[in-house]
Amino acid sequence: MIEFVSLIAFLLIAFSIGTNDTSNAFGICIGCRVISLRKSAILLFFLVFLGLSFQGSGVIKTVGKDLVATNTEITAIALIISAAIVFTSNLRGIPVSTHQVIVGSLSGAGVAFGAQLNYETLAAIIISWILSPILAGFMAILLFILLEGATRGLSLLKVEKTIRVLLLSSGILISYNVGANEVATAIAPLVVIDAEFGLISVLSAATVSLGALALSRKIAETLCKGITSVDPKTGFSAHFGAGLSVYIFTLLGMPVSTTYSLVGGISALGFFKGVRTVKINKIREILLNWISAPLLAFFFGYTSSLFLLEL
């Protein structure tokens, strides 16, 4: 029974990833009318499945085996709490990292159950959380400078067509990363119940697509309008910079956030173009969520586990 609960909780997480990370992948493309929401959800299904199948194993190992010695109870508690936190944040229109809440809730539940928590792995994950948006910001600025130089002197029509293609390619890269990193993180706790990986991969990709169709527009508004004005050049530079950053950390087996990498890229470009274009209050709100989400996940994971142990 508890294995079934874990599976349902995982599907809720996958749905939440869809509501959050389709905006990361295709939100700017949708805003610039490069692709429709429905088409992006279909494309997301295939790319998530490919990313998870080809390069998800490193992140799955880090979170599912190296971080904490999980059991079926820890898995169920962590996934249920994570789904609730991510889903609630999405309804508020605030970007939140699936990785942070899963790592936080897994750690909290693990400590309560007396499981061995690998603090070295936890420290490496936290450092990756800090470095990934910074790296995304530097890459975004570099790409913006290169793109400005490459398109100087070209007609506006040619520049627009080129950037539309580039935006779509960056969306494809981020969608692939959603499977290889975001969904891989959510699947990681399920390794303890020996779930069928092929079936879970298809189910997760389908559920991510459903989440995308249902609730991703509000997060897209925050990313495209809430931080700074995003024109096509800025959008591509932030997009591709975030995609490259997440891909690098995926190769290292580190669970990092596409959401915060993209926020890092957009924010860095906003400051680069002039601090007046950046909405500091929105960045402050996102940073507060960045700190509070894993702490709340740890707290609820810990207290919920203690409650169940006393029953």
**Structural domain spans, the chain:** 2-115+124-305
Global model pTM greater than 0.85:
yes
Residue 285 to residue 90: CA distance in whole angstroms = 14
Q: 59-63, 94-98, 225-229 — which is least confidently predicted?
A: 225-229
Residue 70 to residue 110: CA distance in whole angstroms = 7
Residue 25 to residue 214: CA distance in whole angstroms = 15
pLDDT at residue number 227: 44
- In terms of Cβ atoms closer than 10 Å to its own Cβ (0-12, 13-18, 19+), residue 56 is buried
Residue 99 to residue 184: CA distance in whole angstroms = 10
- Between the CA atoms of 87, 90, 92 and 94, what dihedral angle is there, to the nearest 10 degrees? 130
Residue 236 CA neighbour count, 13 Å, CB half:
22
Q: Which residue has the higher pLDDT, 236 or 243?
A: 243
